[in-house]
Amino acid sequence: MARTKNFNKEEILDKAAELFWTKGYYATSANDLVNELGLSRSSLYGTFGDKRSIFINSLHRYRTQIVQKMIKLIDNSTDIEETIKDIFTFIIEQDLTSKIPKGCLMVNTAVELSATDAEIAKIIEQNQKDIEDSFEKAILKGQKKGTISSRQSANNLAKFFYNSLTGLRVSLKYNTLKSSIDEVVKLNISVLSH
């Protein structure tokens, strides 16, 4: 009779995402995974496959858990200006209060792997597209209501916000001066005004 596995796959993938997020893909060893996830090597690899498979599964899980929440928030927004401000604030606080600012797992992965791994690059591109599409949809809603300026197209503004968020996530890894980051956020939000 086969033994049942007594662990939660989602929890393991969350822990794996946290490890890859902190250390990066290449710096995370097989021993790191075994030690951090609390599973034997045979259980870990028997369930998830090799290190790359574990990483890709944890990346999809991260995307579902974190990014989809942001997309849902944007899609359901009735005050896009306030929602965008809330997203920037959440991201800033998350990194400023962390012992080791990690930036964004998707952004870190894009920098580390997307140039050399087509499958991972596709995940990153789809993530970017989904976020930009959600921003665009919400901005269009605000422009139709007249609460957001129409000087720029919703598509351009969506790309601008995505790129600004990406840049902030990178800069938060080394720059923890909240006052300068707050100024960047204010400037971003100001482009929505009439």
Angle ∠(179,185,186) on CA atoms, nearest 5: 90
Predicted local confidence at residue 100, as pLDDT? 75
Q: Is residue 45 part of a domain?
A: no
* Least confident window among 27-41, 72-86, 87-101, 153-167: 87-101
Residue 107 lies inside a defined structural domain of this protein: yes
Q: Are 187 and 161 in contact (CB under 8 A)?
A: no
The pLDDT of 12-26, averaged and rounded, is 94
In a domain, 129, yes or no: yes
* Structural domains counted in the chain: 1
Cβ of 65: how many Cβ atoms within 10 Å? 13
- Chain segment 123-180, per-residue pLDDT in tens: 999 999 999 998 999 999 999 999 999 999 999 999 999 999 999 888 888 766 778 8
Is residue 44 included in any domain, yes or no? Answer: no
Residue 50 lies in a domain: no
For residue 35, what pLDDT is reported?
Answer: 94
Residue 176, domain CATH: 1.10.357.10
Would you say residue 97 has pLDDT above 50?
A: yes
- Name the token pair of 23: 């250390």
